[in-house]
Amino acid sequence: MRKFLKAFFYLCFFANSSFSQSLFFKQVSITRDNPNLRYNTLFQDHNGLMWMATSEGLYQFDGLDFSRYLLKDKNLANDVTAISQDKDHVIWAGYKNGKIAYLKNDSLQLFNPEEGLPAKPITSILHDKKGMLWITTAGEGVYYFNMNRLYNINTDDGLNDNHAYVCMEDNSGHIWIGTDQGIAICSAEKKLIRKLTYKNNLPDEIIRDLKKDSEGNIWIATQDKGICRYDTEKNKIEIPTAFANWKYGQVNSFIISDKEFWIATEENGLINYNPLLFSDFRNFKESNSIKFSKADYVIKDTEGNIWISSTLGCIRTQGNTFSFLNSINNYKLSFIHTILVDKNSNLLFTPDQQLMKVFFMNGEVKTKYYDITPNDKLIDIVSLYEDKFGYIWIGTMGDGLYRLNTINNQKQKITGYPDLEHASILSVTGDEKEIWLATLGGVIKCMLPADYNKDVIQCSFIGLENQKELGDYFIYKIFIDTEHKVWIATDGKGLVCFDGQKYISYNKSAGLKSDIIYSIIEDAFGNIWFSTADEGIYKYNGKTFTNYNLSDGLRQKTITAIACDGNGNIVLVSRKGIDVLNISTGNIEYFDLEINPEGINPDINSIAVDQKGNVWAGTEDGIIKFNSHYKPPSVATKPVIKKAISLADNAIISSGRKLKYDQNNILVEFAGIRYANAEQVNYAYKMDGYNKDWIYTKDKSIIFSGLPPGKYSFHLKATIGNEFKHASETEVDFTVSKAFWNETWFTLIVIFILAGIAFFILRWRERELHRFASLEREKIKFQFETLKSQVNPHFLFNTFNTLIYIIENDKNIAVEYVENLSVFFRNLINYRDKDLITLQEEINLSSSYFFLQQKRFGKSLVMNLDIPEETKKYFLPPLVVQILIENAIKHNAVSKENPLLISLSANADKLTIKNNLNPKRNPEASTGSGLQNIINRYKILTSENVEVIKTEKDFIVSIPLIKPV
């Protein structure tokens, strides 16, 4: 079998090789159980989020999760055909039914211009630099929205064809429209400016896609004739030679970036054209695990990934970042132990115990095979080294050391040291004068002769097996740094450095955790990096050792091979795959999920770096190439807050928002965009005003419930791995207001109202007190007045005179008179302290008073009583009636001709005291206080007033009666 292989390789000697280099594709499908879901176009927004226009709605993708956006109107189909983003970052979507919608407050709103919307499918949407909206349709030409009016350009205006596929803005602000009959160049001012057709050397008039390159030239994808270029300097169409014989059929979409093309074709899947890497088109239709023949759309994201919408759904690849070499001339590569890139960028590697060289000659890939170990006893080649003159030193596993001239195929087995011809040489390195060999039997130094620039040389050797710093036997790696120090990886003695004079050991006694070292490399800053068998890797900066271990994001403690890539980062190879340690941030990113690293070969020399910084890693079934152009930003891009809402009412929280006290349950959804390794994104967040420290999580959403009133600032960082030091931050500031009852204004109002109430109570009370006081005062005054009037000498004089007269005439009546006088005074004394007495009591009192007066005036004084029995229990202030009777007698002349008639009548409400007026000629001096005192006392007692009516004839006083409660 091996012989056959060798023969096969001989046949290929210097032959053109079909060099199968494939890409790693990953399916990014929303759902696997909906085969009808079609992906129409793809779009990346300013935040880096991916948007997918599908036959069943608009989807947003953050690397892990999809969000679906549907039109609110359930009657409308959700077949999205175009996506764009305006200058305010609003996402717009065009639909197959001609509808256009935009995202506002996280939901789709229909765009509704006065002019109405197209009835034909929207093929593309563009927001130009001026902010104007351009829409191409399949059947109605082009629309543009200017100053709130929608305008149309169709064949009536001279447009080539009403079926337009695509629009694009050139550097002068003109809009290029690709139609079924060539290109139309338009502007809002002039509508159609000019056309490009066959006449202008366009190879095909069906224009499928238009793209602008960094120089401003326009690249035109045609249906049948591949891609051509419009040179904006020369103003003419040119067909690049590579595209002259296009054989991949209809182009649906393409991208151009740095001269590299990715082309989505109708029948041939994805095509890559990268003149810097490969001379010809590369077609991945057949060579991949994910095979698709129809690709509809292709875009490149800011991370460098290529996204394709295809018959197999949405597919993402890191493009040429990682490529996979798995066969040459249909011979499957396998068991690649060792790789070397020589000074001429040729690749040497050892498939299946052979040595093969792959080189580029005149833009073509060629292979060459070298016969090293004996044909009948093939032995694994485990180390390769190219010396200053291009000789390749080959270390084998048990068959010693060979030196090869790759030009003339001359090889020499190096001998001259005991057992060298059967040695296992794990690592070879050297400089101008000497070659160092790491063997399973210790270190051997090989001194080059003066005439080393020959195919056959004679070397002298120095065995270092007795050097106690190097341990007993196993040496895994020897590395010479830029300062010509020799670093030796030992098994059991740690890392040993030979600076030309002495050996210095760095091992457990020097603080290292492991004494078994596998691989050594120097970075661009002169730091020495080395991997250990069981404690991760170390960085040595000449003074201190820094360990990177599981806690730093390393996946495996055993790292066999390390290399420094084109960006200066450290590439680590372990059984788990290929990881990259960013030396500036310390973040470690894993790539196994991207490249399906089954059979990664964790041999010490299975990794090589070429002059361009590409890393080549051997695997069980091929070689993985890691392109140095790829710059792994170890920190994910600035994290995006996808959604921040109050859970109570779905109110959207943007920075600066003031929330009500009951909007304090908050949901924040976010994403750190890193499509290649979305699973590895970790987050740190801190809600200033709530969290004291950063909180680390892998979750992409958080709920803050019951945030107390206050100012908050939500900070979010995202990173690949564990190191957040260099991660950029996204921030949202907002305020949760106090509940209104906690607000100062509310407290003030409450205090004010309470103070008001207290004030009114106090005032009321004061008034009451005042009222009582005045009642008391009036009462006292009244008592005084009454007493004064009763002990008035006039009254006594009159009374006594009457008495004298009566005594003389009738003793019995005199006794009665005195009795009445006595009753009157007793009642007077009894009642004067009371507030109220019954009408009955008052009548009794008044009757005795009247009796006294009547005896004096005889028939000239008449009193009529008309008091119903039921009113007698009503109340009134004491002495009111008596005062009024007294007043009537006092102010009127009482004579036989004009008798004074006093009538008392009462009803349920009031007592009326009426007397006829017959005023005295010489009125008695009156204080006028009697009647006034009654009125005052009533004012205090009830709301009803004392009525005083004075007619020509009568004087009437009505006194309200107070009903017993």
Partner 1 sequence: MKRNKLFFSLIILSFCSFQIFAQQNYRCNNGSIHFHSNAALELIEATSENLIASIDPAGKTFSFVVAIISFRGFNGTLQREHFNENYMETDKFKTAVFNGKIIEDIDFTIDSVYHVRAKGILKIHGTDQERIIKSTLTVSGSKLKIDAQFSVLLKDHKIKVPKVVHEKIASEIIVTIKAELKTDSNLAPLER
Give the interface with partner 1 as residue ranges (CB under 8 A): 114-116, 118-119, 140, 149-152, 154, 156
Q: DSSP code of 25?
A: E
Nearer to partner 1, 155 or 728 (CB): 155
Q: Strand pairing partners for 149?
A: 146
Question: Shortest Cβ distance from residue 137 to partner 1 (Å)?
Answer: 10
Nearer to partner 1, 118 or 442 (CB): 118
> Is 119 or 761 the residue whose CB approaches partner 1 more closely?
119
Q: Minimum distance from CB of 187 to partner 1 (Å)? A: 14
C-alpha distances in angstroms, 606 versus 320, 615, 625, 886? 20, 10, 12, 138
Minimum distance, C-beta of residue 117 to partner 1, in the bound complex (Å):
9
* Residue 189 Cβ vs partner 1, minimum distance, rounded to whole Å: 12
Q: Write down the least CB distance from residue 125 to partner 1, Å.
A: 18
CB of 101 to partner 1, least distance (A): 18
CB of 133 to partner 1, least distance (A): 14
User: Residue 179 CB, nearest distance to partner 1 (Å)?
Assistant: 17
Q: Work out how close the CB of 146 gets to partner 1 at its nearest, in angstroms, rounded to a whole number.
A: 10
**Contact 486/498 with Cβ under 8 angstroms?**
yes
Q: Smallest gap, in angstroms, from Cβ of residue 156 to partner 1?
A: 6
Which SS3 state, helix, strand or coil, does residue 773 take? helix
Nearer CB in complex with partner 1: 151/694: 151
From residue 359, give the alpha-carbon distance in Å to each of 16, 215, 274, 337. 10, 32, 17, 19
Confirm if 164 and 177 have CB atoms less than 8 A apart: yes
Which of 358, 352, 357, 403 lies closest to 379, judged by CA? Answer: 352
CB under 8 Å to 865, separation ≥6 — which residues? Answer: 843, 903, 904
Shortest Å, Cβ 142 to partner 1: 12
Return d(Cα 92, Cα 82) in angstroms, integer.
8
| C-alpha span between 590 and 317 (Å, rounded) | 16
Two structure tokens written together for 194: 């000019």
- Residue 264: which residues within 8 A CB-CB, separation 6 or more? 251, 252, 253, 254, 270, 295, 296, 297, 298, 308, 309, 310
Nearest CA to 645 out of 712, 690, 730, 702 is that of 702
CB 708, min distance to partner 1, A:
47
CB-wise, 115 or 431, nearer to partner 1? 115
Report in angstroms how near the CB of residue 95 gets to partner 1 at its nearest: 17
Q: Least separation, in Å, of the C-beta of 155 and partner 1?
A: 10
The nearer residue to partner 1, 125 or 394, going by C-beta atoms, is 125
Q: Which is nearer to partner 1, 118 or 226 (CB)?
A: 118
Which phi-psi region, left, alpha or beta, contains residue 553 (left: φ > 0; alpha: ψ -120 to 50)?
left
**What is the DSSP annotation of 805-836?**
HHHHH-HHHHHHHHHHHHHHHHHHHHHTT-S-
User: Nearer to partner 1 by C-beta: 149 or 826?
Assistant: 149
Angle, CA of 779, 784 and 790, to the nearest 5°: 125
Helix (H) or strand (E) holding 932: helix 929-941
Q: Which two tokens stand for residue 694?
A: 């950063």
Neighbours of 460 (CB within 10 A): 12
Q: How far is the CB of 122 from partner 1 (least distance, A)?
A: 14
Closer residue to partner 1 (CB): 113 or 173: 113
The DSSP code for 628 is T
Residue with smaller CB distance to partner 1, 156 or 924: 156
| Smallest distance from partner 1 to CB 188, Å | 11
Q: Which two tokens stand for residue 382?
A: 């485990």
Write out the DSSP string of 291-357.
Answer: --S-EEEEEE-TTS-EEEEETTEEEEE-GGGEEEEEEETTEEP--EEEEEE-TTS-EEEEETT-EEE
Helices (H), 500-607: 592-595
List of residues 6+ apart from 537 with CB closer than 8 A: 529, 530, 531, 547, 548, 554, 559, 562, 570, 572, 581
Q: Which is nearer to partner 1, 35 or 116 (CB)?
A: 116
232 within 8 A of 171, measured Cβ to Cβ: yes
Element (H, E) at 10: helix 2-11
Asked whether the CA dihedral 138, 142, 143, 144 is positive or negative, the reply is: positive
Q: Which is nearer to partner 1, 119 or 276 (CB)?
A: 119
CB contact burial 779-789 (16+ within 10 A = b; e otherwise):
beebbebbeeb
User: CA–CA separation, 365 vs 279, rounded Å?
Assistant: 9
| Nearest to partner 1 of 116, 706 (CB atom) | 116
Nearer to partner 1 (CB atom), residue 133 or residue 588: 133
The minimum distance between CB 91 and partner 1, in angstroms, equals 25
Which C-beta is closer to partner 1: that of 112 or that of 927? 112
Q: Is the dihedral of CA 637, 638, 643, 646 positive or negative?
A: positive
Residues near 951 by beta carbon (within 8 Å), at least 6 away in sequence: 917
Please report how close the Cβ of residue 208 comes to partner 1 at its closest, in angstroms. Answer: 25
Q: Which is nearer to partner 1, 64 or 119 (CB)?
A: 119
Of the pair 149, 484, the CB lying nearest partner 1 is at 149
Between residues 149 and 422, which has the closer beta carbon with respect to partner 1?
149
Beta strands 900-906 and 861-866, pairing class: parallel
